Amino acid sequence: MSIFIDEDVCNGCGRAEETLCERICPGDLLFRNERHKAEIRSQADCWTCGACVKACPVQAIDLKLPTQILESNVSLRAKCTKHETVWEIRNGNIIKEEIVIPATTWNGTKS
Amino acid sequence: MIPIFLVGRVSIPDVIHLFNIMTDLSTVNLDTDILIIGGGAAGCMAAIEAKKTDPNIRCIIMEKAHIERSGCLAMGLNAINAYLNNGQTPEIYTKYIKDEFFGVIREDLVYSIAEGLNESVKQVEELGLPIEKDHNGDYVTRGKRSIRIFGERLKPILADAVYRAKVGVLNRVAATNFIFDGERVRGAYGFNSRDGKLYVVHARAVIVTTGGASGIYKPIKKGDARNTTWYCPWNVGTGYAMGIRIGAEMTSFENRFIPLRVKGVNAPTGTIAQGSDIMHRNAQGEEYLEERYKHLGGERCLSIYRLLATLQEEKSGNGPCSLDTRGLSVEAEEKLKTAYLNMNPAIVLLWANEGYSPGKRPVEISGMEPVVIGGHCQAGYWIDRERRTTIKGLYAAGDVAGGAPKKYVSGAWVEAKIAVRTAIDEIADIELLHVSDDEVNREKERIARCINGREGLSHEELERILHETMDEYAGGATAHYELTESKLIIARDKLKEIEEKLQDLRAKDNHELVSCLELIDRLDVAKVLIAHLLYRQETRWPVFQTRTDYPERDDTNWLGFVNSIYDPVNDRVKIVKRELNETLCNI
């Protein structure tokens, strides 16, 4: 498994035309399913780039290692603030480590 | 297949509807001055530069994914590896690249890149890229030509600048072909995977910045890890294929790139090894680069020798080879984790497992499947110093442009700026011409073929055959990257068989349709690649291009470029040899 989408947390990005993860996935792998949740069409096609993990506004997506590399409970979650990316290295529900990294110095507004 | 709509009065949407698919392939027409194909590092910079040069110019980016996270920078980037640190000059830089590629590079292109590197980096820093600085405020270097950055959001930063510059962006529109009137490129076709429509974008000039090609060879990882490759798996060589199909001259496809990467997650090794004193060690505990490859430079050898040595160790039973990170301090480990979160988060996941941290366990390294790429090696469009391709109205920059290896992201920015300035200079007298509906329908028919195949083959089935063929007969990882004429001829014949099967493809939805089109593009790239690999009868770049039937470097006959022009009428790849100092100007 490359990403895990927690359907209890995912809100399907409300009434947006498409979910933010669907909008961003460079491989066009995500879609909104009949339960109005984000779903990946093929785990095997995932690049593990983490674009969806960073884009998710409610942190419903965890980056995982594909089992072919290592079967493990460890996952990565990210929260993007204006100037930083806050990463959580998790083991199941336990946050093992938090790493905060500067992401942009841009102060302007998005147009 | 009979092109129904060309003989009858049935419109395209009706035809497609008969096959019961959501795709309607109706036309969306757009006009622009500059069309940029591929909104990655080069494409975004080209767009920004276009608006900077002339704020009134109309500019559109056609992008298969979303420019905010598309192309090879989707994950982010932790270093800029083409930068002139103190003491470096364009002359020194060009000489370094020339040595690294055993004399065969386009010095004019590399030099022009070197001249613009630092300015481009400064520009992106001003757009918001955080660059690591020391207590004096100077960039933190990672060797002579590299600086450390916090580039996790590099793509969003560039995309923001594109939107601020009021550039038109067509996200989720995958370019399918150039609009070409036989003389000049007049725009491009793109299939929108969201609305199922064909975008027909006419332009006065087109800049191609689509990137290189991965997925030509079988990935070294399998199962659910098959796409955890180093180079973006959705850079499939569409820009090359589109150029090949209109007879643009291509160069140096045989100069494949095979990266040495962290085993499993395919993370770059430079983050650990570059500018550090971490040693390469084999399974016997030997520091093999120092002990056996001192004559090639030991630990400080060229990256191509590091790959060669590591593979030779493997082959002779001394594998696995590792970067010996044992004993790294906790602080050093943390620094590495931060660096990788900016570029390849999967390795941090691996290290977070009990017993896997680099301080406790050496980081195993291995070769990856070969990729065709102009940013690390030099496969791509044959261009002149101003980034004109051999086709009028078409300019190239970044990974898709040939002759200037190791340009990396900053070099791609420089090339993009040169290309777009040339294009703007030249379009003053160029009229925007529209092609006929017949032409548009021809492209629709080509795309529709991927929907209608009677056999119902999936793109994955054919892709697997392509991968096996290239892996076994065209020097993939399984074949130790080695090439021989007899095997390459088998590969060439097998590719023909796959091409015949293309008519049986059947996509079930828009996503699969894009995958089918990508497969066709990969086949066109593979065909040209094999022609190049067959033609160069020497071993110029070990591992990247090892001809076991011609194992020596032969400067008398081969110190120059192997170029190709595809002839679509006879389905023939014509090879042209070019001298070292030969550019478009003196062809």
ipTM comes to: 0.96
**How many CA atoms lie less than 13 Å away from B116 in the CB half-sphere?**
21
**In chain A, which residue's Cα lies nearest the Cα of B233?**
A47
Decide if B85 is inside a domain: no
> Given B74, B346, B352, which is nearest A26 (Cβ)?
B74
Count: domains in chain B: 2
Decide if B551 is inside a domain: yes
The answer to whether the pTM exceeds 0.80 is: yes
Would the CB atoms of A63 and B346 count as touching at under 8 Å? yes
If asked whether residues B443 and B582 sit together in one domain, one would say: yes
pLDDT at A9: 98
> Given B157, B338, B349, which is nearest A74 (Cβ)?
B349
A-chain residues near B343 (CB < 8 A): none
Interface test with B, best of A22, A43, A47, A99 (most B CBs within 10 A): A47
- Residue A8 distance to chain B (closest CA, Å): 23
Residue among B71, B172, B84 at smallest CA distance from B400 = B71
The β-bridge partners of A90 are A75, A95
pLDDT at B176: 98
B-chain residues near A87 (CB < 8 A): 341, 345, 348
- B344, B367, B390: which is the final residue of a domain? B367
Integer CA distances (angstroms), B58 to A41, B32, B55, B485, in order: 37, 5, 8, 49
Query: Cis ω on the peptide bond leading into residue B320 (within 30° of 0)?
Result: yes
If asked whether residues B363 and B446 sit together in one domain, one would say: no
If asked whether residues B457 and B552 sit together in one domain, one would say: yes
Would the CB atoms of B264 and A43 count as touching at under 8 Å? no
Would the CB atoms of A44 and B224 count as touching at under 8 Å? yes
- Residue A103 distance to chain B (closest CA, Å): 6
Within B154-203, residue ranges assigned H as helices are 154-164
CATH of the domain at B356: 3.90.700.10
Q: Which one-letter DSSP state was computed for residue B372?
A: B
- Residue A9 distance to chain B (closest CA, Å): 22
CATH class of this structure's domain A3-102: alpha beta
Separation of alpha carbons B252 and B580, rounded Å = 12
> Given B71, B232, B350, which is nearest A69 (Cβ)?
B350
Tokens of B443: 């492209």
- Residue B516 distance to chain A (closest CA, Å): 14
Are A28 and B314 within 8 A, CB to CB? no
What length does chain B have? 587
Would the CB atoms of A67 and B223 count as touching at under 8 Å? yes
**How many CA atoms lie less than 13 Å away from A56 in the CB half-sphere?**
26
> Given A49, A76, A105, which is nearest B75 (Cβ)?
A49
Tokens of B477: 């990882």
Would the CB atoms of A46 and B227 count as touching at under 8 Å? yes
Interface test with A, best of B63, B122, B152 (most A CBs within 10 A): B152
If asked whether residues B491 and B350 sit together in one domain, one would say: no
The stretch A33-40 carries a mean pLDDT of 97
Separation of alpha carbons A6 and B62, rounded Å = 33
Separation of alpha carbons B18 and B99, rounded Å = 59
pLDDT at B24: 79
Decide if B579 is inside a domain: yes
Would the CB atoms of A110 and B160 count as touching at under 8 Å? yes
CATH of the domain at B574: 1.20.58.100
- Residue A58 distance to chain B (closest CA, Å): 19
- B367, B398, B422: which is the final residue of a domain? B367
A-chain residues near B228 (CB < 8 A): 2, 46-48, 66, 69
Would the CB atoms of B71 and A51 count as touching at under 8 Å? no
pLDDT at B276: 80
Would the CB atoms of B352 and A106 count as touching at under 8 Å? no
Residue among B250, B195, B246, B239 at smallest CA distance from B213 = B239
- Residue B227 distance to chain A (closest CA, Å): 5
Would the CB atoms of B150 and A102 count as touching at under 8 Å? yes
- B331, B352, B367: which is the final residue of a domain? B367
> Given B224, B233, B345, which is nearest A43 (Cβ)?
B224
Residue B359 CB neighbour total at 10 angstroms: 14
If asked whether residues B346 and B455 sit together in one domain, one would say: no
Domain that holds residue B362: 260-367
A-chain residues near B69 (CB < 8 A): 24-26, 49, 51, 55
B-chain residues near A74 (CB < 8 A): 349, 352-353
Separation of alpha carbons A100 and B82, rounded Å = 27
Would the CB atoms of B226 and A64 count as touching at under 8 Å? no
Digit-coded pLDDT (tens) for B319-352: 999 999 998 999 999 999 999 999 999 999 999 9
Tokens of B178: 């150039």
Are B32 and B201 within 8 A, CB to CB? yes
Residue spans of chain B under pLDDT 70: 1-23, 583-587
Contacts of B545 by beta carbon, 8 Å cutoff, 6+ apart: B254, B255, B256, B483, B533, B536, B539
- Residue B220 distance to chain A (closest CA, Å): 11
Would the CB atoms of B349 and A87 count as touching at under 8 Å? no
